[in-house]
Amino acid sequence: MQCMKRTLLSIALLAAVTAVAQTLPERKDVVSWKLLAQVELVKVKDRFQPQFSSGVAALDAKEVKVQGFMMPLEMGDKQSHFILSSTPQDCAFCMPGGPESLVEVKMKKPVAYGMEPVVLTGRLAVLKDDPTGVFYRLTDAVAAR
């Protein structure tokens, strides 16, 4: 039993080290995850809605470049609809963060799935009242450098 606990602890530590090692470097040519995190949930009547900073709201319907890690929503080697996350996924059943750290992506053409960060260009929608709880959606996305 003790050996099993040590093994599980080692796996957890390895996942944490891998996640830290794979944090994304700041790039001036992509929308910062720090900017996308500038959102608060405010109670409106009987539910909560996102209230975005002016900097985030200004990105709505604009062509932007984002970087992140793919989380597939479909089976297969190529993905056309997936979640882009600010951090790598360390559990197949867990979301790596809240809705401010995720962007739903719909590609023009499917791209190969991989564990390395990707950079995408597309039209960003800042969603104020999406029934799925998503805050951001990138459409007509294409791979960028």
* Structural domain includes residue 92: yes
What does the pLDDT read at residue 17?
34
What does the pLDDT read at residue 22?
56
Whether residue 49 contacts residue 84, with contact meaning beta carbons closer than 8 Å, is answered with: no
* Structural domain includes residue 89: yes
**What residue has token string 């997936």?**
82
- Residue 142: CB atoms within 10 Å: 11
* Structural domain includes residue 78: yes
**Which residues on neighbouring strands pair with residue 122, listed in sequence order?**
64
CATH of the domain at 122: 2.40.50.870
What does the pLDDT read at residue 76?
94
As separate numbers, helices (DSSP H) first and strands (DSSP E) second, the chain gives 3, 7
Angle, CA of 21, 76 and 99, to the nearest 5°: 50
Buried b (16+ CB within 10 A) or exposed e, 56-95: beebeeeebbbbbbbbeeeeeeebeebbbbbbbbeeeeee
What does the pLDDT read at residue 15?
43
* Structural domain includes residue 13: no
What does the pLDDT read at residue 96?
80
Q: State the Cα–Cα distance between residues 113 and 133, nearest whole angstrom.
A: 24
- The count of structural domains within the chain is 1
Q: What is the pLDDT along the chain (145 residues), one digit of tens a residue?
A: 444 434 433 344 334 334 434 578 889 999 999 999 999 999 999 989 999 999 999 999 999 999 999 999 989 999 999 999 999 987 777 778 899 999 999 999 999 999 999 999 999 999 999 999 999 999 999 999 8
Predicted TM-score (pTM) of this structure: 0.82
**What residue has token string 């799925």?**
132
Q: Smallest Cα–Cα separation from 142: which of 89, 60, 92, 80?
A: 80
* Structural domain includes residue 4: no
What does the pLDDT read at residue 94?
77
- What is the span of the domain harbouring residue 94? 25-143
* Structural domain includes residue 55: yes
* Structural domain includes residue 3: no
